Amino acid sequence: MSKNTMSPHTRAPRPSSQRGIALFVVIIFVMLSMLLALWAARTSLFNELVVGNDADYQRAFEAAQALLQDAELDIRGENADGSACTGSNDICRTTTPDKIPLEAQEVTQLLATLTTQPTLCRNGLCAKRNGKQDFWNDDTTLADMTAVGARYGQYTGAGKGDHSNPILAEASSNAGGWYWIEVLPYYDSQGAGLVVGGPNNLLPLTPTPNVVYRITALAHGRKPNTMVLLQQTYARNKSKLDLIH
């Protein structure tokens, strides 16, 4: 009867412990890869949000600039090419009750009318606001002001049917843009004019009539939290020929 014996050079197989370690390493690499992919996705989303917000702000800024220019045309009674404004109804304020004043008497009549309004404004024209000037920071006051503001092209006919900026085409009560023109009486009893570059360099201001206009333009972006507000002071100076006469 034979007896099985193990050769002295043969070793019994040992359980392999490397398989568990390899699996653990693979799991770690998979988790790291998932974290890297998640980080890349979040970074990409954040960059898209930043770019989108910046683009929306730039679009609103351009709309506010266009509203300022439209208000200047409204004040001068001109078309965009400098020709005299012609139109009907709201265009060129042909039939609107409130018009840009051309004579001192018209200034007095206009301001007397505007001061009777709850907002001191009507048809985009305003008397000087009382109290806090930043009405755009109060939702209730802003809603009242937009109801009496002027839309782009409303009184000039500019861009009718051809709005390159979609914000200017908005017509809903809480979207788009508006401008307001404050009619401010100007008195310069000493003839000092405006200082430009120093006290010895004066720029005389000779408005006709004696008013300056403060234009406020506000534009909402396409995103809920985007709003741009621009202000400028505008004066229609008399020409040299008018000064000679």
174-183 average pLDDT score: 94
Q: What number of CA atoms fall less than 13 Å from residue 69's CA on the CB side? A: 14
99-120 average pLDDT score: 93
pLDDT recorded at residue 242: 45
Asked which of 32-36, 178-182, 221-225 is least confident by mean pLDDT, the reply is: 32-36
- Scan for tokens 């004040």, then name that residue: 75
Asked which of 59-63, 114-118, 121-125, 204-208 is least confident by mean pLDDT, the reply is: 204-208
Q: Is residue 38 a part of any domain in this protein?
A: no
pLDDT recorded at residue 111: 95
For residues 189 and 168, the model is more confident at 168
Q: Is residue 59 a part of any domain in this protein?
A: yes
The answer to whether the beta carbons of residues 79 and 71 sit under 8 Å apart is no
Asked which of 6-10, 67-71, 134-138, 140-144 is least confident by mean pLDDT, the reply is: 6-10
Assess whether pLDDT exceeds 50 at residue 117: yes
Q: Is residue 114 a part of any domain in this protein?
A: yes
**How far is it, in rounded angstroms, from Cα 108 to Cα 185?**
9
For residues 140 and 200, the model is more confident at 140
Mark 109-136 as b/e (b = at least 16 C-beta within 10 Å).
Answer: ebbeebeeeebbbbbbbbbebeeeeebe
- 142-155 tens-digit pLDDT: 999 999 999 999 99
Assess whether pLDDT exceeds 50 at residue 223: yes
Assess whether pLDDT exceeds 90 at residue 3: no
**How far is it, in rounded angstroms, from Cα 28 to Cα 22?**
10
83-101 average pLDDT score: 90
Assess whether pLDDT exceeds 80 at residue 18: no
Question: Number of structural domains, the chain?
Answer: 1
Q: For residue 139, give the H/E element and its range.
A: helix 139-146
pLDDT band at 243 (very low <50, low <70, confident <90, very high): very low
pLDDT recorded at residue 119: 94
- 52-76 tens-digit pLDDT: 688 899 999 999 999 999 999 999 9
Which domain, by its residues, includes 147?
48-244
Q: Is residue 18 a part of any domain in this protein?
A: no
Asked which of 45-54, 64-73, 169-178 is least confident by mean pLDDT, the reply is: 45-54
Kindly report the average pLDDT of the chain as a whole number.
81
The answer to whether the beta carbons of residues 171 and 151 sit under 8 Å apart is yes
Q: Is residue 191 a part of any domain in this protein?
A: yes
The answer to whether the beta carbons of residues 194 and 186 sit under 8 Å apart is no
Q: Is residue 21 a part of any domain in this protein?
A: no
Q: Is residue 28 a part of any domain in this protein?
A: no
Q: Is residue 55 a part of any domain in this protein?
A: yes
pTM of the model: 0.74
